[in-house]
Structure 1
Amino acid sequence: MEYNTQKNKLHLPEYGRIIQQLVERCKQLSSREERSEMAMAIIDFMGQRNPQLRDEENYKHKLWDHLFILADYDLDVDSPYPFPTREQLAEPPKRMEYPKLQGDFKFYGKSILQLIEKAIELEQGDEKEALIEVIANNMKKSYNVYNKEHVTDDVIFRHLKELSENRLDLTGIETLEKSKIYYTTNNNNRNNNNRNQANNRNQSNNKRRHNNNNNNHKNRK
């Protein structure tokens, strides 16, 4: 009996030994045309065995790279993509540059900066003012969540002016109603208060009716 430890090393274990053996068989074919034809068939088989790869970008290119790795970087076939080298795959990935936010305003997030740039590009009008209100609303929510404290509109306006490098100033837009900032939350609170008051009134009325009914019943007795 032959154990796995006695067999050739699997270069990519996720593909299994069957595909590894097919690749070894492909390398042994004498004709480049035959090798290329078999390599295409192996690529199709690899795609069927790993359908999740099809959801990735350039998955065909990735399969050809995997085929070359399975062949231990020694496969003479016609490929639609250039084969990688050992050195390229051994090279560590480049360090990712994290976005840098201005000053101490990291809690606003990168999306706020992108929205600010979009608002700056827009011409003066209703669309620009509506976007500015959305930006200020989200800034206020982010500030309250991060700092766990209430913030006034003036602070948000000052931060917005600084983040936009003085290119966006809420105080300079006459038609913008500052009361709209955080308007949804205020409305929700107001609606909840009204609903609670109505429930309290209903409970009081029901209790009063119950007491009156009891009194009438006693009087009849």
Structure 2
Amino acid sequence: MEYNTDRTQLHMPEYGRIIQQLVERCKELPTKEERNEMCHAIVDFMGQRNPQLRDEENYKHKLWDHLFILADYDLDVDSPYPFPTKEELAEKPKRMEYPKLQGDFKFYGKSILQLIELAIQQEDGEEKGALIEVIANNMKKSYNIYNKEHVTDDVIFRHLKELSEDRLDLTGIDSLEKSKIYHSGNNRNKNQKNQNQNTKNRQRNHQNKNRRK
């Protein structure tokens, strides 16, 4: 009986023992023409065994890379793509730089910073004032969600001044409570709550009628 421990190590277990054996057989073929022909057949077979790879970009290139890995980086064939090296595959990806918010304002999110920069670049006028009001309202909502407490407009205005490095004029906003945007958002929430309550009341009345019957 042959045990897996006595066989050649699987370099990519997801492809299974059969494809590993085909690759090993290909390496033993005497001529390069025969190896080339068999390699193309193996790559097609690998694609059939893993159809999900076809949804990925450059999936053919990826299959040829996998073929070379299965051959333990030792395969003398004419590949349509340059084969990777062990060093390239062993190299760790570069660490991603995450956006950082100033001070303790991370709960506002990156989109707020982008909106602030957009507002700074706009010329003074109604459109810029409306955008500043939208930013302030969204900051207030984010603050209330993150901190689980009510925040005054003065705090939001102070944070907005700090995040914009005092480059935005907030004198045009008297109070967020009086703004159309703030009230339209609240009205939508109230209407949704009323609709949900009405639905529950109708269901309760219907259940009571059924019990009486």
Q: Is TM more than 0.5 here?
A: yes
Q: Distance in 2 between matches of 1:181 and 1:152?
A: 16
- Tell me if the contact between 1:136 and 1:181 (Cα under 8 Å) persists in the aligned partners: no
TM-fit CA distance, 1:104: 1.0
SS at match of 2:171: helix
Quick check: 63-72 or 184-193, which moved more? 184-193
TM-fit CA distance, 1:186: 2.5
Quick check: 35-44 or 60-69, which moved more? 35-44
Identity among equivalent pairs (%): 83
TM-fit CA distance, 1:46: 1.7
TM-fit CA distance, 1:171: 3.0
Q: Distance in 2 between matches of 1:126 and 1:50?
A: 57
Q: Distance in 1 between matches of 2:118 and 2:64?
A: 41
> Where in structure 2 are the equivalents of 1:154-193 lying within 5 Å?
154-171=154-171, 179-188=179-188, 191=191
Structure 1 position 118 matched with structure 2 position 122: no
Instruction: Identify the residue that residue 106 of structure 1 maps to in structure 2.
Output: 106
Q: Distance in 1 between matches of 2:183 and 2:163?
A: 22
Deviations 1:48-85 (A, max 9, x none): 21222233344333222211110101112222332222
TM-fit CA distance, 1:157: 2.7
Quick check: 182-191 or 21-30, which moved more? 182-191
> Where in structure 2 are the equivalents of 1:22-171 lying within 5 Å?
22-122=22-122, 128-171=128-171
Alignment length (residue pairs) = 195
Instruction: Identify if the C-alpha distance between structure 1 residues 53 and 136 changes in structure 2 by more than 3 Å, giving closer, same or farther.
Output: farther
Query: 5+ residue gaps in structure 1?
Result: 200-221
- Tell me if the contact between 1:160 and 1:169 (Cα under 8 Å) persists in the aligned partners: no
TM-fit CA distance, 1:150: 0.9
Instruction: Identify if the C-alpha distance between structure 1 residues 23 and 14 changes in structure 2 by more than 3 Å, giving closer, same or farther.
Output: same
Q: Distance in 1 between matches of 2:65 and 2:152?
A: 56
- Tell me if the contact between 1:27 and 1:75 (Cα under 8 Å) persists in the aligned partners: yes
CA RMSD of aligned residues (A): 3.2
Deviations 1:156-214 (A, max 9, x none): 2332232223333343589x996134333422465579x69xx9xxxxxxxxxxxxxxx
TM-score under structure 2 length normalisation:
0.74
Instruction: Identify the residue that residue 18 of structure 1 maps to in structure 2.
Output: 18
TM-fit CA distance, 1:144: 0.6
Q: Distance in 1 between matches of 2:73 and 2:135?
A: 53
Q: Distance in 1 between matches of 2:74 and 2:10?
A: 15
- Tell me if the contact between 1:153 and 1:178 (Cα under 8 Å) persists in the aligned partners: no
SS at match of 1:182: helix
Query: 5+ residue gaps in structure 2?
Result: 199-213
Q: Distance in 2 between matches of 1:81 and 1:127?
A: 53
SS at match of 1:157: helix
Letter matched to residue 21 of structure 1: Q
TM-fit CA distance, 1:9: 0.9
- Tell me if the contact between 1:23 and 1:71 (Cα under 8 Å) persists in the aligned partners: yes
TM-fit CA distance, 1:109: 1.4
Name the larger-Rg structure: 1
Q: Distance in 2 between matches of 1:35 and 1:103?
A: 61
SS at match of 1:10: coil
Letter matched to residue 110 of structure 1: K
